Amino acid sequence: MLYTDWVLIERGFDPNQLHARETVFTIGNGYLGTRGSFEEGYPRAMPVTLIQGVYDAVPVMYTELVNCPDWLPLTITLNGDPRRSERFSLDQGEVLSYERRLDLRYGLLRRSIRWRSPSGKTLDIQFERFASLADPHVLGLRCLITPIDWEGAIAVHASINGYAENQGFNHWDLLTQDQTETNFTEDLQLEPAIWLAARTRQSQIELGMAAKLIIQGVAATFQRESAPGYPTLTTSYQAAIGQTVLVEKIVTVYTSQDIEYPLKAAQSKLVTLPSYPECWEQHKQAWKSAWHTSDVIVEGDIRAQLAIRYSMFQLLISAPWHHQQASIPAKTLSGFGYRGHIFWDTEIFILPLFTFTQPELARRLLTYRYHTLEGARRKARSYGYKGAMYAWESADTGDEVTPRWALPSDPYASDIRIWCRDREIHISADIAYAIWNYWQATGDDLWMRDYGAEIILDTAVFWMSRVEWNSQFERYELREVIGADEYHEHHVNNNAFTNRMTQWHLEKAIAVYAWLEHTFPEQAAALAQKLEITPERRQRWQDIANHLWVPYHSETGFIEQFEGFCNLEDINLQDYEPRTKSMQTILGIDGANKRQVLKQPDVLMLLYLMRQLQEFPYNPESLKTNWDYYAPRTDITYGSSLGPAIHAILAADLGDSQTAYKHFLQAALVDLENTRGNTAEGIHGACAGGAWQAIVFGFAGIRFQDNQPIATPHLPPHWTRLAFKLHWRGKWHPFEITHSASEMNSYHPSPSPEMDEASPTINLRGAIFDLDGVLTDTAEYHYRAWQRLADEEELPFDRQANEALRGISRRESLLKIVGDRTYSAAQLEEMMERKNRYYQEFIESMSPSDLLPGVRSLLTELRQQQIKIAIASASKNARTVIEKLNITELVDAIADGYSVERPKPAPDLFLYAANQLKLPPAACVVFEDATAGIEAALAAGMWSVGLGPVERVGNAHVVLPNFADITWAGILSKLNQHLS
Amino acid sequence: MLYTDWVLIERGFDPNQLHARETVFTIGNGYLGTRGSFEEGYPRAMPVTLIQGVYDAVPVMYTELVNCPDWLPLTITLNGDPRRSERFSLDQGEVLSYERRLDLRYGLLRRSIRWRSPSGKTLDIQFERFASLADPHVLGLRCLITPIDWEGAIAVHASINGYAENQGFNHWDLLTQDQTETNFTEDLQLEPAIWLAARTRQSQIELGMAAKLIIQGVAATFQRESAPGYPTLTTSYQAAIGQTVLVEKIVTVYTSQDIEYPLKAAQSKLVTLPSYPECWEQHKQAWKSAWHTSDVIVEGDIRAQLAIRYSMFQLLISAPWHHQQASIPAKTLSGFGYRGHIFWDTEIFILPLFTFTQPELARRLLTYRYHTLEGARRKARSYGYKGAMYAWESADTGDEVTPRWALPSDPYASDIRIWCRDREIHISADIAYAIWNYWQATGDDLWMRDYGAEIILDTAVFWMSRVEWNSQFERYELREVIGADEYHEHHVNNNAFTNRMTQWHLEKAIAVYAWLEHTFPEQAAALAQKLEITPERRQRWQDIANHLWVPYHSETGFIEQFEGFCNLEDINLQDYEPRTKSMQTILGIDGANKRQVLKQPDVLMLLYLMRQLQEFPYNPESLKTNWDYYAPRTDITYGSSLGPAIHAILAADLGDSQTAYKHFLQAALVDLENTRGNTAEGIHGACAGGAWQAIVFGFAGIRFQDNQPIATPHLPPHWTRLAFKLHWRGKWHPFEITHSASEMNSYHPSPSPEMDEASPTINLRGAIFDLDGVLTDTAEYHYRAWQRLADEEELPFDRQANEALRGISRRESLLKIVGDRTYSAAQLEEMMERKNRYYQEFIESMSPSDLLPGVRSLLTELRQQQIKIAIASASKNARTVIEKLNITELVDAIADGYSVERPKPAPDLFLYAANQLKLPPAACVVFEDATAGIEAALAAGMWSVGLGPVERVGNAHVVLPNFADITWAGILSKLNQHLS
């Protein structure tokens, strides 16, 4: 994978990464998410489109987000005769080039392929797709088709696939589709369109989807096909060599959660839609607004820059922009992992990004918990408690949907009971914590009055009924819980995390009630009646808050994770390195349960949460003490993916930016580099949110003091700049952090003018030039050397004959020249040496005038722009030539025939050059005139500019005839066009 | 539903019965079963094709028979324009007539529909299908299409639906289909064909299916469509009014369990297949052979006759004719109930039919248990026992696949543990019992040596490790079991059924080993070594057999179901009547568990099994004692469906043939009449097998004595004849039982020559004739009466004017005749009376010569054939006319204008006539010349012959112009053509 500051690039297709990359290239618009599956399909592909809030029942797991009818299918067949037709597919024929790129700035997924069919027809195909952020019901898909070396019939089939499934399970009953006479809008009969309506089997949610096909640049016919559940629209045309035809598939979708008649709505929308370019333009504007407030700029670390934007992008497209009663599932809308259920991940890990950059979305995320209060109350009642006890896993109703069992396929193995539903009760306090922080950050009193207060108070009622009084120690306790750390699930009593969060929750519930009573006495009275909050009960809350035991050692600041934790068998995780599995897998469930090994931060999680509020038990000393004890005992690599971001923030807080950076990357790259091997199941939403927090709360060290956010930066050493802005109490606070500044202890926001103008440029810092044919043309000198040899041997030769030698080795060139004439091997050897000698003599006579037109001014401009310059030539005479051309002082590095062993198209020479420049490949652009050279640049993961005809260098990102009148700005502009 | 002796007929389509009737109309060939779903589809339809042995994993239920790609889809669209096309479907337009019939003799399913499209086009459509019993890989489907009142384009689409699912779950990965270039047989390119290959996701079984379409009688074009997973072949033609076009869809199917390359095999088979009629002929021959040995003839009870043949049919098509390692699932191959798992149902309820009429299939069914011995050994090991402990539910490997949990959808309800897997251990003894009986019946010593002995011995090893020694009582015990009765599943110790079966099993294991040691000493030694059967262990078996406690009271013969059963709270089931739910549903699981209420026979089940062997504890007195105690406490109506057949046999044994008959019908009609409301889930295989046993062991009272089967009949009073044959020790023993014979105490087999010739005729015993227009033509006398009136009134009238009066009432006829002329109401009244008086005068002059041609000879023939004759006429003058025609002595009954109130098309008049003849409607044929008369006959559930033009009487089963040259044999032949 290549990273630019805005674009994620996949060069080459690896079937082994199929499912993981489908996840990584997910696009969406907050209404739905669609995995990056191929339009034309692929064996074992897992195309998924998940719509916010569309849940349906499923065995064991209770309910799950439903995979919706697939809007992607667009297949291409060559040659009209169905008996001999070939269908474009990456598992057939030959893939000559492949590139997939996700432009985060506009949520555009583009794929460019040059493909040769089994019968030898070559084709350029480019797909692009977007899910409109401006109109959530509009999906755009484009395909550009160019036959390279053949002509004939092409058919493009655009379908809606009604057989989408959730890992084998089909939730849909087909209701109607275009083949039937019923339920269509008359207008749709007038242009080629297809549609489909379906209904989920249990939840009875109806979905309507419609699609039309537009073809440009050619005369075409249209035909509909009627396979049940798979309506297809086919357009056929005669393709000409080199002629590019544009096909647009525009799709509309509604569900009965949006509107009463979703199919009619989809049909009407399709008919009244503006053109594809207009839809695209509206969509772009929507994204500009989104990034305007949410963007984070990192300079000096292109990977971190891309990773943080990627994380934000994946969360932005999963947020309920258009839904009033939905939240962000743990695996976002990008895969089947955790069945679309909602965990504490949202409130604790993901929410801050929204609270501080998209507060409207943060409010919706929290309002979801208000709409699911009844489910939380049902759960409390079913366990014999009062008030609201939130589900560990929550879906549409808020009822508990954590599976009760993990079922083994072995019929004799025991089923594994999943205890989180019963014991991981801290979720209710986590939600209260998130609400409190949202309120503090936004001052959204009306929301607090109408929604937040009821949640905080009714969960406090729950805690009141859940605690136990220990008469012996005269304290309240919480027994048989699971804390944040899930390796310990049996006989966990008085977990510090849970007890302190509960205590904090009750304190804040008292405060919220007092505030409400003071500010909105009517609402306070109504809530008190509804929730039966008597003064006596509030007194009880206070009593519990005062006497709920937190196992904190006040002398040392050490906190025992739970009662008796330190009596468990100790463990040295280093003894198990290197490993590729979680400690629970290695030790077994019971083995981990009885040792001092943590799946994720627990005491440290508590310290992190209280750090944000600067409340007990957080203080720097306590942090240090507990970090030293718990961090080495935490399975941060293969335990929970929730861990690394929290460790990153705390490590930064402790001033260890190296450790902080390591953990930040663990969170930020978890899906981009599939470090845990489970990216196929969906995006790790909590890692994405945690990565943002690691930057803002860790590296920038943001705290809220004196009624404003204040930074105490701990930037990684190689970061040259960090910029973002935060919304706090009605105002935007921009931050601009560099190392010079970060030497200060802490500092206040400063304006960052560039933020709003951040352009989606490639961040190029080096230019690598081939020599021969690019900077100069030594072909002339080769010709002269051959001519001299031919004349001496009285062989016929001239400029025209010389043309036949292009790209041919020295030996083969000689054999062409001698023709029928007979020579001994020794004679031929001597002649080759002689020719080379003449060549070397000629280049001795080279001068600056041998620089090709435009080269010197370009090199000068690069130098001014502080772009580093290298020359990479396979020639062993390169240094001589460079000297003669008098450009030595413009060049930072030279890679020549002595530098590496493997010739182009191996990437070695360019990688060597980049290394000399101390630049990553993605920061370099290569200028080449040969096919093999372009291939080498692509293989190196570099940008490429081809000089010469498209037939020779068409695979390059940008093709130029030569350097005449070319500027660096012009090249950058062309490369950026390639991105957008 | 109508029953003839071989044909099951459904008149009219009821969407509420959709799924149940899909089950009822299942066809198959022992390789696969296909439910009776419609070819053209229907909303919420559940089309299912299950292939023997094709299992795949599924959550919770471990594994299930996989719904295979659907070979049925054949849709018809009218009018080529896709924008205005209408698709034939019973939920659209108007169904003018509908009939579905399953011919059990040849396994042919036929459906005839007259349908009017929403735009008013009328169409006759007839579908038929069969799964070849001659070649298991061949499936035939035919469709006859006749436009009645329009002409235009028709398209027929034949598909393979690769999206078959198991209640939402899709087990298949699509591999390839006709749209791709790979993997096809070249020949198939030459004719219109489609194909598809898919693979199950876990078990990795590949399936290949191919289909071709042949159209006859018209010029047509062909086209293929390429929707992934839904290959479709479309043929289009121009239809003419009244022209019938025949479309044949022939399908071939293989799996990788049959052959290495199933798709290639399916393609090759398709190419080399003979014509549809030839395939059909081979198939018919195969069925003739099957029925030759298995048929049971019941006379005097058409419903019983059809039901027993239906039961046998459903078992014959589910038996593994072509599979070496499969058995019959509890719900056969006809639905998703019990996921295709195999229970004791097969060995105890189903097997005897096969043992005694298809011994080769019986052997295969038992050999399945040999192939699954390793699974039974794994189960024993997993529970800490030795030997082989058979799975309560078994699938491909023999491992236990009973679901461990019944999962409620309510997230707070407790999961219900299913204990059968752990406790219902009698299954191992049941298998031994079945093997022993097979061996006794067939004398198949080689099979016993190579397969049966190892099963009986290794399960004996299991029992040895399962029993416990009770030191206090000095006896062996079996504790914590579930007996046959599943209402008691907790703390059931020393269940009489389980203990006695175990004791019996050990006794027979000792006997089998002794026989093996004597007859095949080498094999005995090898088995003894393999299973570690030491002499000491055999001694232990004997010790256990001697001291395993069976709670039998030797003074009274009463057997206590298990230790302490009689101490449970007693119950009077009459107190709960009327009810429509099981007693467990009414009382709850715990409530039933602590009462003396049985889900199914337990002690009585033991007595039934031991009755077959005439072994302890069976004797007539013990049976009477225990019957009187347990039968009233058994939930025979809504408890287990396994109960009724056993009660039927025992009641017959007790001489109570009325009770026996009642329970027999409960078993035999369970699916035909969906009496338990769960027929949608599949055929009750055990009921079908039980119904056969109820007839053979109950009503015929077959026992095996003196080395031959002997009958002690207890026929239901209205049965006039019962005939069947049994295979016993190498010979066929035909039985022919009538009441005269059944007065004897018992009797020996007698030859039954008719058996082998039993023809698939409709069993007609009555003919009902309309009078006017059928037997005579009084229209002439009506004309003469009108003419006389008109002449008197000087009104213009002639024969041509009379034609306009056909089918018009007397009053309206008069108004037509008077035209413009004005009369008072009284005058009109007088004229009508006058006309009727003239008519009566005329018919006084009628004579035998007024009988229409052919009538007298037909009536005479009917009388000779002992077919009863009735005349059913709405006329009040009918008796006069009959006298004048001089046919009174040929007529057994007359229904006339005085007999009933509602006129035709109400069925009342014909039902009245049938009642007079003392015949069921299905045994009668009606002859009618009016549309309303045909409708009345159909509504009465009778056969119908229409006289006159098709436009008038086309809905009749057979249409004749008149009776000239018509014989009864000719009519029967035409009616039977309609059947076959």
In terms of domains, do A231 and A91 share one?
yes
pLDDT band at A979 (very low <50, low <70, confident <90, very high): low
What is d(CA A673, CA A675) in angstroms, rounded to the nearest whole number? 5
Strand, helix or coil for residue A200? strand
In terms of domains, do B76 and B178 share one?
yes
- Is the Cα dihedral A432, A436, A439, A441 positive or negative? negative
Q: Which of B845, B877, B894 is at the close of a domain?
A: B845
Q: Which contiguous run of DSSP H or E holds residue A292? A: helix A276-294
Tokens 């083994």, residue located? A408
Interior CA angle at B539 toward B536 and B541, to 5°? Answer: 115
Model pLDDT, residue A391: 98
Model pLDDT, residue A752: 45
Whether A221 and chain B come into contact, CB under 8 Å, resolves to no
pLDDT in tens, B482-531: 999 999 999 999 999 999 999 999 999 999 999 999 999 999 999 999 99
CATH of residue A869:
3.40.50.1000
In terms of domains, do B807 and B767 share one?
no
In terms of domains, do B805 and B879 share one?
no
Model pLDDT, residue B820: 83
Partner A, chain B 2-61, Cβ-Cβ below 8 Å: 41, 43-44, 57, 59-60
Model pLDDT, residue A333: 98
pLDDT band at B191 (very low <50, low <70, confident <90, very high): low
- The region of weakest confidence among B234-248, B668-682, B863-877 is B863-877
Computed on alpha carbons and rounded to an integer, the radius of gyration of chain A in Å comes to 32
pLDDT in tens, B358-372: 999 999 999 999 999
The answer for residues whose C-beta is within 8 angstroms of residue B553's C-beta and 6 or more apart is: B559, B560
Model pLDDT, residue A751: 46
CA of B613: how far to CAs of A514, B557, B577, B617, in Å? 85, 18, 36, 11
pLDDT in tens, A604-614: 999 999 999 99
Q: How does DSSP classify residue A452? A: I
Q: Tell whether the model's pLDDT for residue B744 goes beyond 80.
A: no
A457 within domain boundaries? no
In terms of domains, do A12 and A95 share one?
yes
Select which of B396, B602, B635, B770 is catalytic. B770
What is d(CA A839, CA A128) in angstroms, rounded to the nearest whole number? 49
Strand, helix or coil for residue A764? coil
Q: Tell whether the model's pLDDT for residue A844 goes beyond 90.
A: no
Percent of chain A exceeding pLDDT 90 equals 73
What is d(CA A436, CA A524) in angstroms, rounded to the nearest whole number? 17
Q: Tell me, what amino acid is at A744?
A: M
Model pLDDT, residue A842: 86
Measuring CA to CA, which residue among B165, B66, B57, B50 is closest to residue B399? Answer: B57
What is d(CA A510, CA A516) in angstroms, rounded to the nearest whole number? 10
Cβ distance of A412 and B405 shorter than 8 Å: no
What is d(CA A381, CA B790) in angstroms, rounded to the nearest whole number? 90
Question: Within 13 Å and on the Cβ side, how many CA atoms surround A9?
Answer: 25
Q: Which of B168, B181, B407 sits opposite A169 (nearest CB)?
A: B168
Comparing A974 with A158, which gets the higher pLDDT?
A158
CB A195 within 8 A of CB A160: yes
Q: Which of B277, B292, B307 is at the close of a domain?
A: B292
Q: Tell whether the model's pLDDT for residue A647 goes beyond 80.
A: yes
Q: Tell me, what amino acid is at A807?
A: G
Average pLDDT over residues A443-457: 97
Min CA distance, B170 vs chain A (Å)?
5
Measuring CA to CA, which residue among A703, A773, A687, A765 is closest to residue A953? Answer: A773
pLDDT in tens, B573-601: 999 999 999 999 999 999 999 999 999 99
DSSP A57-90: EETTTEEEEEEPPB---EEEEESS-TTT-EE--T
Write out the residue range of the structural domain in which residue A105 sits: 2-292
Closest-approach residue (CA) in chain A for B382: A412
Q: Tell whether the model's pLDDT for residue A62 goes beyond 50.
A: yes
Whether B339 and chain A come into contact, CB under 8 Å, resolves to no
Q: Which of A845, A865, A882 is at the close of a domain?
A: A845
A329 within domain boundaries? no
- The region of weakest confidence among B260-274, B645-659, B751-765, B913-927 is B751-765
What is d(CA B449, CA B235) in angstroms, rounded to the nearest whole number? 57
What is d(CA B12, CA B9) in angstroms, rounded to the nearest whole number? 10
Average pLDDT over residues A765-777: 91
B120 within domain boundaries? yes
User: A770 catalytic, yes or no?
Assistant: yes
Cβ distance of A415 and B409 shorter than 8 Å: no
Cβ distance of B170 and A171 shorter than 8 Å: no
Q: The tokens of B236 are what?
A: 């289009």
* B414 C-beta neighbours (distance < 10 Å), count: 9
Strand, helix or coil for residue B492? coil
A106 within domain boundaries? yes
B885 within domain boundaries? yes
Task: Find chain B residues with C-beta within 8 A of A165's C-beta.
Answer: 170
pLDDT in tens, A141-157: 999 999 999 999 999 99
Q: How does DSSP classify residue A688? A: H
Whether B422 and chain A come into contact, CB under 8 Å, resolves to no
Average pLDDT over residues B677-705: 96
Q: Tell whether the model's pLDDT for residue A923 goes beyond 90.
A: no
CA of B637: how far to CAs of A99, A451, B345, B595, B646, in Å? 68, 55, 18, 18, 13
pLDDT in tens, B783-822: 889 999 999 988 999 888 887 776 567 788 888 888 888 8
DSSP A830-857: HHHHHHHHHHHHHHHT--GGGBPTTHHH
* B937 C-beta neighbours (distance < 10 Å), count: 31
pLDDT in tens, B207-230: 999 999 999 889 898 888 878 999
DSSP A514-542: HHHHHH-HHHHHHHHHHHT--HHHHHHHH
In terms of domains, do B861 and B883 share one?
yes
Average pLDDT over residues A436-450: 96
H helical segments located in B203-261: none
CB A94 within 8 A of CB A76: no
Q: Which contiguous run of DSSP H or E holds residue B864? A: helix B855-864
Partner B, chain A 161-220, Cβ-Cβ below 8 Å: 161, 163, 165, 168-171, 173, 179-181, 189, 201
Comparing B952 with A496, which gets the higher pLDDT?
A496
Strand partners, A144: A126, A246
Pairing verdict, β B766-769 and B924-928:
parallel
In terms of domains, do A194 and A244 share one?
yes
Question: Within 13 Å and on the Cβ side, how many CA atoms surround B618?
Answer: 17
Min CA distance, A437 vs chain B (Å)?
31
Average pLDDT over residues B165-179: 90
Whether B821 and chain A come into contact, CB under 8 Å, resolves to no
pLDDT in tens, A363-384: 999 999 999 999 999 999 999 9
B723 within domain boundaries? no
Cβ distance of B226 and A229 shorter than 8 Å: no
What is d(CA A787, CA A805) in angstroms, rounded to the nearest whole number? 12
Whether B976 and chain A come into contact, CB under 8 Å, resolves to no
Model pLDDT, residue A748: 54
In terms of domains, do B194 and B223 share one?
yes
Select which of A178, A396, A770, A850 is catalytic. A770
Average pLDDT over residues B83-109: 92
- Is the Cα dihedral B67, B69, B71, B74 positive or negative? positive
A11 within domain boundaries? yes
Cβ distance of A170 and B168 shorter than 8 Å: yes
What is d(CA A275, CA A296) in angstroms, rounded to the nearest whole number? 33
Model pLDDT, residue B761: 54
pLDDT band at A754 (very low <50, low <70, confident <90, very high): very low
The answer for residues whose C-beta is within 8 angstroms of residue B822's C-beta and 6 or more apart is: none
pTM, two decimals, is 0.77
Q: Phi, psi at residue B944, to the nearest 5°?
A: -140, 140
Whether A417 and chain B come into contact, CB under 8 Å, resolves to no
CB burial of residue A517 (10 Å; 0-12, 13-18, 19+): middle
Model pLDDT, residue B941: 80
Measuring CA to CA, which residue among A592, A575, A571 is closest to residue A583? Answer: A592
Tokens 């025949």, residue located? B246
In terms of domains, do A141 and A180 share one?
yes
Model pLDDT, residue B425: 98
Average pLDDT over residues A184-188: 44
Partner A, chain B 224-243, Cβ-Cβ below 8 Å: 224-230, 232
Tokens 């030491």, residue located? B534
Q: Phi, psi at residue A727, to the nearest 5°?
A: -95, 125
DSSP B568-613: SBP--GGGG-S-SS-HHHHHHHHHHHTBT-BSS-SHHHHHHHHHHH
In terms of domains, do B783 and B907 share one?
no
Strand, helix or coil for residue A510? helix
Q: Tell me, what amino acid is at A934?
A: I
CATH of residue B224:
2.70.98.40
The answer for residues whose C-beta is within 8 angstroms of residue B306's C-beta and 6 or more apart is: B3, B4, B5, B6, B7, B8, B104, B672
Interior CA angle at A414 toward A410 and A420, to 5°? Answer: 120
- The region of weakest confidence among A753-762, B161-170, B421-430 is A753-762
Model pLDDT, residue A967: 86
In terms of domains, do B840 and B920 share one?
no
Q: Phi, psi at residue B199, to the nearest 5°?
A: -140, 135
A214 within domain boundaries? yes
In terms of domains, do A155 and A286 share one?
yes
Strand partners, A924: A766
pLDDT in tens, A816-838: 888 888 888 888 888 988 998 89
User: B770 catalytic, yes or no?
Assistant: yes
* Domains in chain B, number: 3
CB B315 within 8 A of CB B353: yes
Select which of A345, A772, A896, A908 is catalytic. A772
